[in-house]
Structure 1
Amino acid sequence: MIEAIGLSKRYGDTVAVDDLSFTVPPGQVTGFLGPNGSGKSTTMRMILGLDAPTTGSVTVGGRPYTGYRRPLFEVGALLEARAVHGGRSARDHLRCLALSNGIGRARVEQVLDQVGLRAVADRRVGGFSLGMGQRLGIAAALLGDPPVLMFDEPVNGLDPEGVLWIRTLLRALAAEGRTVFLSSHLMSEMALTADRLVVIGRGRLLAQTSVADFVGSGTGSFVRVRTSGRDALAALLTAQGASVVAEGPDTLKVTGVSGDAVGELARVNHLGLQELSTHQVSLEERYMELTAQTVDYRTADAALAAAPN
């Protein structure tokens, strides 16, 4: 698990991260979202001890990352795929990392196979394509077979086959009970890969929830339910904070709760349903809605579109 408590980072008068608290639990893929300049990279660097927080703390597995003697066994991370010596081969790069943490050479060969770089393992990294560099970075993250994995934009430069591969890999790692923390600007991929989301804007937490609940909370999302117990269900939903509008003698339009929650509430109260349908905005639409006022860099057209009428 990753846990940040009151995490802040200042660079002079600039506040990059502002009193940020969140958790990344094991067994799920947690997506990390935010506009450019929102503090995502700074936060990841603080998790790995590359930047010291101004205030607050962050732990991995209950300890600061810098407290581990052999950190590759605890956390695997890909923050910058090009942060390698271009004159080394892929195999030698991984062997150097392995040696620093007491990892055997056999494990190097395993991860080369796992990421599909066996055929080019002896080529110099400086000649690698962007996609090959990403695969090498992922191999380095997997080297110590760690319980916690962090990836910053891991699908950059990958072709469609590579994108599918990394998506499948991340979900498989989470299914094994590992903590997987993933940053990406590709909303379509995040919708297919992540179970949970941590969303920040201008260094502050905007949301920390499941993907389903995040999308379901959008203003364009609603649940339509038809039942002979319309009034009783409406009262129950209103009591739980949902917004309910009658659309006929037996139909309700509900916002603020998920379709599963509506169905469960009806079941435990013995209210039969004739229809239960969910109409949702996309993850991208919900994300744009939430972060509209925290974007620091936008085109003139986008600024006009975001301006209040």
Structure 2
Amino acid sequence: MIELDGLTKRFGSKIAVDHLSCQVRPGIVTGFLGPNGAGKSTTMRMMLDLDNPTSGTVRIDGKHYRELQEPLKYIGALLDAKAMHGGRSAYNNLLCLAQSNRIPSSRVDEVLDMVGLSAVAKKKSKGFSLGMGQRLGIASALLGDPEILMFDEPVNGLDPEGIHWIRNLMKALASEGRTIFVSSHLMSEMALTADHLIVIGQGKLLADTSMADFIHENSRSYARLRSPQQERLRDVLHQEGFTVVETAGGVLEIDGATTEELGELAARHQLVLHELSSQRASLEEAFMQMTAGSVEYHAHSERDPAAEPPVVGAGWGEGWNSPGGTDRTDRTDRKGA
């Protein structure tokens, strides 16, 4: 278990992490989410004593990381896959870590095989692709067969097979009772992997809840109905006290109702349904809703398309090369966050 109690980190006048308290429990995959600049990386670095907190504490199974005699046997972490020594082979990179933590050298071969790098074990890591480097970083986290594992953007650079593999690996390790803590900006992947979420914004805790509860509490869930007897269906729904929203294509949306009760209601009134489905927002939509007020870095377009009305009556391409012609191509500011 990882326990954070009042964890705070200041860089001058900037508060990167603000009195953060939470627990990362064993037996589940815990996702760590937040906008860019929310303090996720700083928090993970403080967990490993790479940064000292201004105040508050982090404990790994009741101890500070610096108090662990052979830390790789307690906690394995992937924070930066590029941290490996580029002049060493994949095998020797892991061997150095193994020897420093009294881990048998046979374990090096095991984890290289586990991550699919056995064929390039003797090659220098500086020649590795982004995905291969990521696999080597994952191997280093697994090296001590620890009970706690931390991953920061573990699928970065991995191909679809690699993404599927790391997802299943994290789930399998959690099912063994291990503590799995993973940070990622890929919401679709996090939705498939995590059981529990810890969400922060501007260094503060915003949510510490299950995946299902997070989506339910931060998004709209509704039932969707479509029928050739639309008017009669709408009248029946109104009589039963439901609020109905009509959308394009004659689709009716009803909040606060289950598909079961709506199906039974339609059956009682002998109404034909062409569609009856439950609609729930994605993790990405729920995340955007919760963190809307905590986003520090916003991207903006260089020009507002609404500020300049379209030219009416001009044919496609007219005036593109004339002396007074205007380049109307939209451009997007892609400044990194």
Q: Into which bin does the TM-score normalised by the smaller protein fall? A: 0.7 to 0.9
Cα distance change on mapping 1:18 and 1:161 into 2, 3 Å: same
Query: CA separation in 1, counterparts of 2:58 and 2:181?
Result: 14
Alignment-derived partner of residue 31 in structure 1: 31
Cα distance change on mapping 1:279 and 1:91 into 2, 3 Å: same
- Do the aligned residues in 2 keep the contact of 1:216 with 1:222 (CA within 8 Å)? no
Cα distance change on mapping 1:248 and 1:118 into 2, 3 Å: farther
Query: CA separation in 2, counterparts of 1:222 and 1:23?
Result: 32
TM-fit CA distance, 1:187: 0.2
TM-fit CA distance, 1:222: 4.4
Query: CA separation in 2, counterparts of 1:299 and 1:12?
Result: 26
Structure 1 residue 209 and structure 2 residue 209: aligned? yes
Query: CA separation in 2, counterparts of 1:166 and 1:118?
Result: 17
Alignment-derived partner of residue 105 in structure 1: 105
CA deviations on 1:81-116 (whole Å, 9 max, x unpaired) are 000110000000000000000000111110010000
Alignment-derived partner of residue 7 in structure 2: 7
Alignment-derived partner of residue 240 in structure 2: 249
Cα distance change on mapping 1:251 and 1:15 into 2, 3 Å: same
For structure 2, the residue ranges without an aligned partner over 5 or more in a row are 225-236, 244-253, 266-275, 305-337
- Do the aligned residues in 1 keep the contact of 2:219 with 2:285 (CA within 8 Å)? no
**1:174 partner letter:** A
TM-fit CA distance, 1:166: 0.6
Alignment-derived partner of residue 22 in structure 1: 22
Query: CA separation in 1, counterparts of 2:127 and 2:195?
Result: 36
Structure-2-length-normalised TM-score = 0.75
Query: CA separation in 1, counterparts of 2:282 and 2:84?
Result: 37
Query: CA separation in 2, counterparts of 1:247 and 1:134?
Result: 56
TM-fit CA distance, 1:278: 4.5
Query: CA separation in 2, counterparts of 1:18 and 1:301?
Result: 31
Query: CA separation in 1, counterparts of 2:187 and 2:238?
Result: 33
After TM superposition, the structure 1 = structure 2 runs for residues 231-246 of structure 1, keeping only pairs within 5 Å, are none
CA deviations on 1:245-271 (whole Å, 9 max, x unpaired) are x9642769666xx98xxx9xxxxxxx9
Query: CA separation in 1, counterparts of 2:26 and 2:141?
Result: 17
**1:249 partner letter:** E
For structure 1, the residue ranges without an aligned partner over 5 or more in a row are 225-245, 264-270, 305-309
Alignment-derived partner of residue 136 in structure 1: 136
After TM superposition, the structure 1 = structure 2 runs for residues 48-197 of structure 1, keeping only pairs within 5 Å, are 48-197=48-197
- Do the aligned residues in 2 keep the contact of 1:82 with 1:133 (CA within 8 Å)? yes
Alignment-derived partner of residue 232 in structure 1: none
Query: CA separation in 2, counterparts of 1:219 and 1:157?
Result: 31
Structure-1-length-normalised TM-score = 0.82
- SS for the counterpart of 1:300 is coil
TM-fit CA distance, 1:287: 0.3
Query: CA separation in 2, counterparts of 1:248 and 1:129?
Result: 63
TM-fit CA distance, 1:279: 2.8
- Do the aligned residues in 2 keep the contact of 1:74 with 1:148 (CA within 8 Å)? yes
**Count of residue pairs brought into register by the alignment:** 271
Cα distance change on mapping 1:280 and 1:91 into 2, 3 Å: same
Query: CA separation in 1, counterparts of 2:264 and 2:182?
Result: 40
Query: CA separation in 2, counterparts of 1:193 and 1:27?
Result: 13
Cα distance change on mapping 1:196 and 1:247 into 2, 3 Å: farther
- Do the aligned residues in 2 keep the contact of 1:5 with 1:22 (CA within 8 Å)? yes
Query: CA separation in 2, counterparts of 1:277 and 1:217?
Result: 20
- Do the aligned residues in 2 keep the contact of 1:215 with 1:221 (CA within 8 Å)? no
Query: CA separation in 1, counterparts of 2:17 and 2:34?
Result: 12
- SS for the counterpart of 2:51 is coil
Cα distance change on mapping 1:294 and 1:158 into 2, 3 Å: same
TM-fit CA distance, 1:220: 1.6
TM-fit CA distance, 1:293: 1.1
TM-fit CA distance, 1:163: 0.6
CA deviations on 1:159-191 (whole Å, 9 max, x unpaired) are 111111111111111011100000000000000
- Do the aligned residues in 1 keep the contact of 2:34 with 2:201 (CA within 8 Å)? yes
Alignment-derived partner of residue 279 in structure 1: 279
Cα distance change on mapping 1:248 and 1:89 into 2, 3 Å: farther
Query: CA separation in 2, counterparts of 1:248 and 1:6?
Result: 52
- Do the aligned residues in 2 keep the contact of 1:188 with 1:283 (CA within 8 Å)? yes
Cα distance change on mapping 1:112 and 1:73 into 2, 3 Å: same
Alignment-derived partner of residue 250 in structure 2: none
Task: Give the greater-gyration-radius structure (CA).
Answer: 2
- Do the aligned residues in 1 keep the contact of 2:29 with 2:180 (CA within 8 Å)? yes
Query: CA separation in 2, counterparts of 1:160 and 1:102?
Result: 35
